[in-house]
Amino acid sequence: MTRCVGRFYHVRNMFKNVFASGFLVRTAHVILTWVVTLILFLHDTELRKQEEKGQLFQPILFVLLVLVSVLLYFAVSLMDPGFILSDDGHSEQFTLGVTEEQQDMIPPTTKSLRQRRCGHCLLQQPMRSKHCQTCRHCVRRYDHHCPWIENCVGERNHRWFVLYLAMQLLVLLWGLHISWTGFGYAPTWQLWMRGNGALLAVTALLALLSLVVLLLLGSHLYLVSLNTTTWEFMSRHRISYLKHCGADENPFDRGTFYNLWGFFCVWGTVVWEQVYFREGNDPV
């Protein structure tokens, strides 16, 4: 019954997200993507030359990659990032996963971690979750709220967000190369701008977006390799379960390989309290 209710809320939130304030952002993203793609085909770029010669492999592949990037964008944008919609007996899971000796080791300042309730939605917050003021929900393993996708990035969609960034970067870099091949010669600057102005604007836009996405992808892969989130990285001095740790100590770090493996290959909800209080780890 609980699972059915959860699915109902998930579907309802998905349709709500489609027509929420993010509708304009998503529409602008899609329109801009296909307008840029159309300009790359209309100018005398290598894609158009190959199309005119009947060599359709690269043009079709490029369009397919653009389509995949748009589909990934909508998937990440509309996906439930890990909203906490009800109390789910998390404290019982935590108690079963932690020994009495480990519970005795928890200082008074952190004993309330497992009993914490959100001051906004009044639901019990598992460790690493945070309330998003924009989405008005607590999110498991909260990373950040992204205005680009008008959704939170959390436990359920973070890996898809990273995959989307990787695909987007591939498309942007290929599009940048294609646009560079389309500039033609003109005897005067005015004639050159008249013939290549739109392509120049597209090239500048692709270069700027490529740099932004490259920085985003690099930062997220770095944080994932440490098993930390953007919120934890930026605000660890204010987070109750991290401010007791040393500057270089991360209680969730299991080594680069296992961090990456767990992020990309392990599905399902993780009880982070069990990782935090695992044997040999001192949370103070």
Residues with active-site annotation: 146
152: DSSP letter: E
Would you say 90 and 127 are in contact if contact means Cβ atoms under 8 Å apart?
A: no
Q: Which of 152, 147, 149, 209 is nearest to 175 (CA)?
A: 209
Q: Which of 121, 81, 100, 98 is nearest to 230 (CA)?
A: 81
**Pure H helices in 55-89:** 57-78
* 121 token code pair: 């939605």
Residue with tokens 């109902």: 8
Which residues have CB under 8 Å from 189's CB, separation 6+? none
Helix (H) or strand (E) holding 6: helix 2-18
**Pure H helices in 79-188:** 90-97, 100-105, 108-111, 158-180
Residue with tokens 């909203």: 83
Which residues have CB under 8 Å from 178's CB, separation 6+? 40, 45, 46, 47, 62
